[in-house]
Amino acid sequence: MQSYTLDGNSLTIPQISAIAVDFAEVHLKPSSKRAIYASRKLIDDWVQHGESIYGVTTGFGEFSNVRIAPHDLAQLQENLIVSHAAGSGDPLAPEIVRAMMVLRINALAKGFSGIRLSTVETLMEMLNRNILPVIPSQGSVGASGDLVQLAHLVLAMIGRGKVYINAGKKNSRIAGSAGVLRKHGLAPVKLAAKEGLALINGTQMMTAFASLAADRSMQLLKTADIAAAISVEALRGSDSAFDNRIHALRPYRGQRNAASNMRRLMHGSMLRESHRTNDRRVQDAYSIRCIPQVHGASRDAVEYVYEKVSIEINSANDNPLIFAKDRIHLEGGNFHGQPIALAMDFLAIALAELANISERRIERLVNGSLSGLPRFLTARGGLNSGLMIAQYTAASLVSENKVLAHPGSVDSIPTSANQEDHNSMGSISAQKAWRVLKNVQTVLAIEMLCACQGLDFARKLNVEQGERSPHAGPALRAGEGTEAAYSVFRKSIPFMDRDRILYDDIQKALCLVDGKSIVQAVERKIGELE
């Protein structure tokens, strides 16, 4: 089984995905163990000498002016967890919980949190054995981090919460954490001074969503270009709009890369070539002509998000932070979720635009007046409705995305008696972006469904018009990359010669979009896409 060594500084977004989705294991680097030990020793020294430290020898939030007696310090930390485990809503998906766990371990591995090594190792063992806390999805305002969700995570660590057994598998079930931990030879953690606070101050829930969303968005950018290329070929669109000379005059990197992908995907297309001499259109509609500009802008936005998330996953974001070399504790605000909140709002907008333009291509494909193809991509229209309602579904998801793209980060509501008077709402932004991502995947799946059907009809029309076109002939091939994608798609979803349950086809197409088979097939044929 694949494993990664965590040191708090070198974790990557693809590694988080491998740990969260593919069950890769994690271990701590020896230098991280030493750093954890050094900061913990300092906490013990300060407690022994009665130093005043926020959340260690004082209360929390508005109660920061209340001094806690030495014999109550451990109880203070347990009370913190119990009182903050106040979430609501559906439980988070197992992949999100696993991402949260590795992110929390990695933050602690930096050695600025004052936690015991044994506590970190318990969390690590739970992750490696797939003992996942049941964590409700709602309740975070994203300021002191995702306090509520992280409290539920710690609740499982101390034996007072619930966990999934065999999470993500068919025989998954929920049980009390104390019994499950003991069954696996793990003792529930008895929190010491500072440990509860060290475990729940941080942005790990919003960053878990952000990490997995950023990872999948990078692939989705390639998928969007592939779907668009099939649509252009099915609609016999012009390829002049993708000429490099145009994009060199407006050299946004995303735009140039999207145009390059379109050229490479359609390179060698005889189907496109067969219509070039007889095509009287001077230029295509925006949803075809402006693919590089629209996809490219989203590409640049996703790259920005990817960069910010890559910083957050290797950051110390709890409070107070312990600087062992300087023998000082500093109270600050690294837990505040504003960087991730803004990034997730930007991601939602960028992904929503991919779906917006995709739905317009879907409309052109199913609208016989615009496409020159059979209406709703069915040969016997009237008796069959073809792909008419698939466009309805895409339109519905696009409209939902317009609501979800409203930024959560512009909102704030005070908490803790106005002590925490500006909150990021990053958890809301992250979960909205995740939902937008899922919607966009479905819209692109529908575009591929329509585009491949349209490509089949375009080939058929080419054969029927063979006597009138010197370029026409039986089964003219599309571009090299387009054909590679089409072949993978048709292995799972055959041509629709009569009406059938579209839900089944859309779900199969969604699996292809969410997976890697189409992108991999294309890249094997034409090389890695930009």
Q: Give the amino acid at 79.
A: N
In 3D, which of 502, 509, 273, 234 has the Cα closest to residue 364? 234
In 3D, which of 154, 162, 105 has the Cα closest to residue 128? 105
The two three-digit tokens of residue 300, written as one number: 């640049």
Kindly tell me the burial class for residue 344, based on how many C-beta atoms sit within 10 Å of its own C-beta (0-12, 13-18, 19 or more). Answer: buried
User: How many angstroms separate the CA atoms of 321 and 331, rounded?
Assistant: 7
54 counts as catalytic? yes
Is 123:101 a contact under the CB 8 Å cutoff? yes
In 3D, which of 214, 207, 161, 196 has the Cα closest to residue 315? 207
DSSP 49-94: TT---TTTTB-SGGGTTSBPPGGGHHHHHHHHHHHH---EEEEPPH
First to last CA, the chain: 30
User: Which entry of 54, 286, 392, 486 is annotated as an active-site residue?
Assistant: 54
Calculate the CA dihedral of residues 101, 442, 222, 436 and round it to 10 degrees: -50
Residues in the chain: 530
User: How many angstroms separate the CA atoms of 479 and 201, rounded?
Assistant: 52
User: How many angstroms separate the CA atoms of 424 and 337, rounded?
Assistant: 5
In 3D, which of 443, 527, 523 has the Cα closest to residue 485? 523
Spell out the alpha helix ranges (H) of 235-285: 244-248, 253-266, 270-276
- CB count, 10 Å around CB of 191? 26
Catalytic residues: 54
